[in-house]
Amino acid sequence: MFEFLTTSGPALLFYLFALMAVAGAVCVVSMRNPMYGAIGLLVCFLSIAALFLLRHAEFVAVVQIFVYGGGIMVLFLFVIMLVNLHRLHETTMLGNYWRTAFVVSLALVAIFGFLFLKVEFGPSFEDPSKFVDALEPGMGNSEAVAWKLYREYLLPFEIASVFLLVAMVGAVVLGRRA
Amino acid sequence: MIDPTEFWLLAPEIFLAVAAMLLLVAGSIGRGVRNRPAAAVALLSLVATALLVLWAYGKGGSSEAFLAGMFVLDSYALFLKLLLLIATGLTVTISGRFLEEGGYRPGEYYSLILFAATGMLFMVSGYSLLSIWISLELMALSSYILAGYFKRERKSNEAALKYFILGALSSGVLLYGISLLYGATGTVHVGELAARLGDLVSTGEQPILIAVGWLLLAIGLYFKVAAAPFHVWTPDVYVGAPTPVTAFLASASKIASFAILIRILFEALPALKADWQLITALVACISMIWGNLAALTQDNVKRMLAYSSIGHAGYILIGVLCASEEGLWAVLFYLLAYAFITLGAFGTVIILEQREYAGETYSDYAGLARRSPFLAASMLVFMVALTGIPPTGGFFGKFYLFAAAVEAGWIWVALVGVLTSAISLFFYFGIVVQMYLKPSEDTTPRPMPAVGLASTIAICAIVTVLLGLVPGPLVELAKASLIPLP
Amino acid sequence: MMLEITTTHYLLLSAVLFAIGAAGILVRRNMITVLMSIELVLNSVNLNLIAFSYQLSDLTGQIFAVFTIAVAAGEAAVGLGILIALFRLLDDTHLDKATELHG
């Protein structure tokens, strides 16, 4: 029993967090009150961060918690509290078809699941240090990401900075009282 | 590794972004800038950027990607960059009246237009799916904000919301496709992706990841170029957005989206040529049929032009699916002609709009020939060109596209194109009939429109006719701006 | 007996999240929920990227994920800005439904 737990620990953690992520996602799309949906979203974000850790993406996991758990979540909560909740039901676009939603998502999962189950991969990396060592020996994950980000991916990084500036301008332009 | 001196070749993009930031700062000091100076600054910086593009191309133009393989400055990118700058410039000149009448701040407006243009310039030069995607997002985000810029107008607001939601969904789909292709090949660099996909396809490895991946990627791109059946956002957004923004979306934004569609299909997915040709043929036919049939039933001119732009996305896709030299230069020719035609047509709509969203129906055009011969004549040119009748650029554009399709053996697609063009005669000439044959209730002559707007329309009309009389020079230019064929 | 987690597990989880998010975008009427569903879709992409990055022992996937997170943040800001502008208009004019555009 203990042996099973120690050897399969990561797998069990995966199932735990995957379950939490899916539960959070279902909560997001099914709750009438967006406040509960936001909490479901938070659970989903944090579980996904944990799943990143299981794949040795430590830096991305931390960014996920900071940006999603800290930034985006607060933004959502602010807006939910700012707008009049009674008016929320009035902003319709395509109607409230939860049955359709259920069928659509089930069909998508079935198609993707059927296809992805057939995908064959070679063995994954066993030793996490090897993965990071691919760049230079003895590097941590954050350092490795930073090296690659600022050397190879400098151009997209710069474009992303302009993108974030535009996002800021947009939020001000649209949110400001006319 | 990146050689820092390579950043000199980004001078046009950097300059444009800095100009946009300066406009932003000027717009937020005190009571902000007035419309005219802001428009002048925007125009001047676009001209300077065009000169810088030429300079950068002369300095380091080649088909080799640089900046660690993220950026390429080939003749294809040069052609499209200049075209995008022209389309953006014409958008700036038709924007003034709307901003003045609506009382919206011009500083942020023009700076967002310039930011969107910066994103477009990066898009057409992107040589990695990552840099292409992030610059696509830069363009899209600026467009969402611009679509909702008329905050006090309900329609503008809803257009922005709808555009945002479907745009975000489409970029999610596109991204999912990229992630699967990355999983199959281990790279997002366009050139390496093509090489590894070639190996994988020939050995038959990872068929599922590749198939699902490229299909989702292509669907995301069809979404962006507004091809049916992925066009659901187009009519509402085009009608609801401020008309200059609509013109911008229908011209510059569409050109940039087509540019990356072609770049990705031709240079990243040549191994899957047969597959994407078939899917593109289907999408092209559905777009042509649906766009033109739906346009028949419209009463609102902006909505008609929206459906017409879906149909025209189909015509342009004909040239893409040929995957031949003729097809590619025909696409470039058509993109240029279409930019002028569509900007001119929307410019005319802007003049006729009395208030922000009034004066958009067919009946508002009744008797226009008598009240304003200049406007009626230019609208006539644009409608003739959209139908594809000589002597206009629209005729040669369609002619080259169909000829390329026939030569590449896609005769049935060309046939659908010809038939739908015949259908389109009805709704384009509906406006002409209104203008020239119907009497108007209001017979007072219209006041001459503002100089900027009038000269923009005149330029568009003249270029449209010129392209129909002497298409040769542009054809030569387009022929010199090709990318390697798949 | 030992349980193993492979890339396929991640792919399936990401497909589930993608499907839930896409369904949420397409059929929910509550705009805040729709914006949250967009975040779900982007997160599912990130799961894919991270899983492949590990599978291929290539850091590009992780870097792409960082960019996705940045874009998600920007989109959330602008999406919520549009929403606030719309709500302000609704409060000012007391119109009942945001369905002036259709079709």
- Name the one residue in this structure whose structure tokens are 């000091």: B29
State chain B's mean pLDDT as an integer: 90
pLDDT at position C38 over 90? yes
- For residues A149-156, give the mean pLDDT: 90
- Decide: B270 and B486 in contact? Cβ < 8 Å: yes
At residue B447, the pLDDT reads 66
What whole-number distance in Å separates Cα of residue B326 and Cα of residue A80? 54
**Residue A42: count of CB within 10 angstroms of its CB:** 19
At B438, is the secondary structure helix, strand, or coil?
coil
Q: CA torsion, points A136, A138, A143, A149, in degrees to nearest 10?
A: 10
**Beta carbons of B2 and A152 less than 8 Å apart:** yes
Report the percentage of chain B scoring pLDDT > 90. 67
**Which chain C residue is nearest to residue B189, measuring alpha carbons?**
C60
The mean-pLDDT minimum among A79-93, B183-197, B218-232, B408-422 falls in: A79-93
Average pLDDT over residues B251-264: 95
Contact A159 B212 (CB under 8 A): no
Q: Where are the domains of chain B?
A: 275-486
pLDDT, greater one: A138 or B460: B460
pLDDT(A31) > 70: yes
What pLDDT sits at residue C94? 42
Taking the CA of residue B125 as centre, how many other CA atoms within 13 Å lie in the half-sphere pointing to its CB? 32
Instruction: Summarize the confidence of residues A123-141 as an average pLDDT.
Output: 71
Q: What's the pLDDT at B442?
A: 66
Q: What is the pLDDT of residue B350?
A: 87
Between residues A89 and A167, the one the model is more confident about: A167
- The pLDDT of C51-73, averaged and rounded, is 92
- Cβ count within 10 A of residue A147: 14
- Calculate mean pLDDT across residues A120-142: 72
Domain ranges of chain C: 7-93
**Burial class of residue B263, CB neighbours in 10 A (0-12, 13-18, 19+):** buried
Q: Across the interface, do A151 and B141 touch by the CB < 8 Å criterion? A: no
pLDDT above 80 (res B449): no
Burial B63-100 (b: 16+ CB within 10 A, else e): eebbbbbbbbbbbbbbbbbbbbbbbbbbbbbbbbbbbe
Which positions in chain A have a beta carbon within 8 angstroms of at least one beta carbon in chain B?
Answer: 93, 112, 115-116, 118-119, 151-156, 159-160, 162-163, 165-167, 169-170, 173-174, 178
Place of tokens 């055009």: B365
State percent of chain A over pLDDT 70.
Answer: 83
C100 pLDDT higher than 70: no
C69 → closest Cβ in A55, A63, A168: A63
pLDDT score at B435: 86
Instruction: Write down the CATH number for the domain with range C7-93.
Output: 1.10.287.3510
Query: Which residue in the set B137, B172, B187 is minimally distant from C45, CB to CB?
Result: B172
User: Closest residue of B to C37, CA-based?
Assistant: B169
Q: Is there a contact between B311 and B292 (Cβ–Cβ < 8 Å)?
A: yes
- Sign of the four-CA dihedral C12, C69, A61, A124: positive
Instruction: For residue B26, give both structure tokens.
Output: 């000027």
pLDDT value of position A135: 66
Is the Cβ pair A60, C80 closer than 8 Å? Answer: no
The pLDDT tens digits for B301-342 are 889 999 999 999 999 999 999 999 999 999 999 999 999 999
Task: Label residue C96 exposed, middle or buried (CB < 10 Å: 0-12, 13-18, 19+).
Answer: exposed
pLDDT digits (tens, 9 = 90+) for B41-96: 999 999 999 999 999 999 888 888 888 889 999 999 999 999 999 999 999 999 88
**B446 DSSP assignment:** P
Neighbours of A137 (CB within 10 A): 9
Q: Using a CB–CB cutoff of 8 Å, tell me whether B115 touches chain A.
A: yes
**What pLDDT does B357 receive?**
57
A58 CB near a chain C CB, below 8 Å? no
Give me the pLDDT at residue B358, please: 62
The pLDDT of residue B22: 93
Terminal Cα-to-Cα distance of chain C (whole angstroms): 57
> Does C103 contact B236 at a Cβ distance shorter than 8 Å?
yes
Q: How confident is the model at residue C102 (pLDDT cuts 50, 70, 90)?
A: very low
What is the residue-averaged pLDDT of chain A? 83
The fraction of chain A above a pLDDT of 90, given in percent, is 33
Domains of chain A: 1-87+98-120 (1.20.120.1200), 125-178 (no CATH)
